[in-house]
Structure 1
């Protein structure tokens, strides 16, 4: 036990210096700038504009999480249980996005979804539409861009869960006459529940802090928390307000994570 703790201590020290100390500085700033007190928190929790951004962020992050985990489940199913050719193609589709930056992906979606983008151009050339369809500067573009980035991250917890499924259980169900659909819904899906929860946690936490994709694809029409914090720091500036909102966001995300982890632990029992 002691050698393990000795090896972990440098990592804990690095994490403490890299994350904990800066976060404590943010907490202090939230209580002291521009004046000592709770005025920043009262404003964050009562200002209609800030509350609207908070609810929009939570709503979009939930939608992105559902879309990402759902698509990742199908992709992972092909990767883990498909034929060798399908597995190879799926693995390439999972790995290649990691080599492309988030900024390049956002501009790629802009070139596809904008009014003069490829999709609108193809639809016009085919005679299917007369006027361009507005697919950017709205929540639809934000959800598409964020889900595209987060799907590969959801694949790995799901793949681990699927590979740990006991094949003997599936074979026994098949031998007893259960259909493939029933085997999937009543046996395979519940047995991969831990992977679904892990992927959900990972995607949701990542989506809360997104900035580049919503800023570019949303075009200022779908401002999320990270973009609002950026505006308060670099354009207002209101450092105390930005710090207070950051602390509230951290507490909210931490609470959601604890609740989901407890539920996962209860389910495992």
Structure 2
């Protein structure tokens, strides 16, 4: 190899750190380019068009003046918060059982938890309708054992909506909580027992505090998903249980008011984003307080 060739190769081998970082950054951008193009074309561009459409024809003024919209927003937040609390509590209990189960039982329980993912939401809703209707299995069982004389109103109300949503969203709570539980060192509980701590004390002072990250992630995930439910309030709820997604559908399909539907979608997105940001800020402040 000639000296000229060696001289040309030497700067590449001994390139400065800044140049190497630039090349690495260019390589990462090259790998991310398909994802960026995909997001821009299929998410950001339609979202931008939606936001632009919401500012036409005084859409915000019209929808905010509609009392049904206000009621739908209140219903959405109330049902979503209730669903989140119930789902996280049930999810935590199931995650604890999964955490403490053996391998065979854990596989069985995982299959049961994942069952909602294996069936469509419409199938699940109609299955619950069969169970909760006046002549359904639950009312029939309660009447047969003598607990009630007349059927209970279990369907087409807010209770039924929350039941259907909790059933659909339960896996979203179980897996983040289970992940945080499996990260807890078992030696902490052993050390506490060796010092005479009771199981309730171990749970309250070790297990529960160390699983808070999973609980917070599960709560945020369930709340965000639950605000967009559409078919469950239609199948299982009553006229007074319609959520904002149903109102968007009404504006788009019945009234053919696409700017009003776009305004409602933007309002819901902004509202959920604000609540999520406050939630994260409160959790961060709480974590800093505990650290101090």
Scaled by the length of structure 1, the TM-score of the pair is 0.92
Shift of the alpha carbon at 1:99? 0.7
After superposition, residues 17-166 of structure 1 pair within 5 angstroms as 17-32=41-56, 35=57, 39-166=58-185
* 8 A Cα contact 2:158 2:238, kept in partner: no
What does the per-residue CA deviation read over 1:164-189, in whole Å, with 9 as the maximum and x for residues that have no partner? Answer: 11222222222221111111112111
1:78–1:86: 8 Å Cα contact kept in structure 2? no
Quick one: distance in 2 between partners of 1:267 and 1:14?
37
Question: Post-superposition shift, 1:98?
Answer: 1.2
Query: Which range moves more in the overlay, 178-187 or 58-67?
Result: 178-187
Provide the secondary structure at the position in 1 that maps to 2:175: helix
RMSD: 1.7
Aligned mates of 1:259, 1:9 — CA distance in 2? 32
Which of 175, 191, 202 lines up with 2:194 in the alignment? 175
Any stretches of 5+ residues in structure 2 without a counterpart?
1-23
Distance 1:157 1:4, change over 3 A: farther
Which of 30, 49, 64 is equivalent to 1:6?
30
TM-score by length of 2: 0.85
Structure of higher CA gyration radius: 2
Deviation at 1:53, TM superposition (A): 1.1
In structure 1, what is the equivalent of residue 273 of structure 2? 254
Unaligned runs of 5+ in 1: none
Q: State the aligned residue count.
A: 264
Deviation at 1:40, TM superposition (A): 2.0
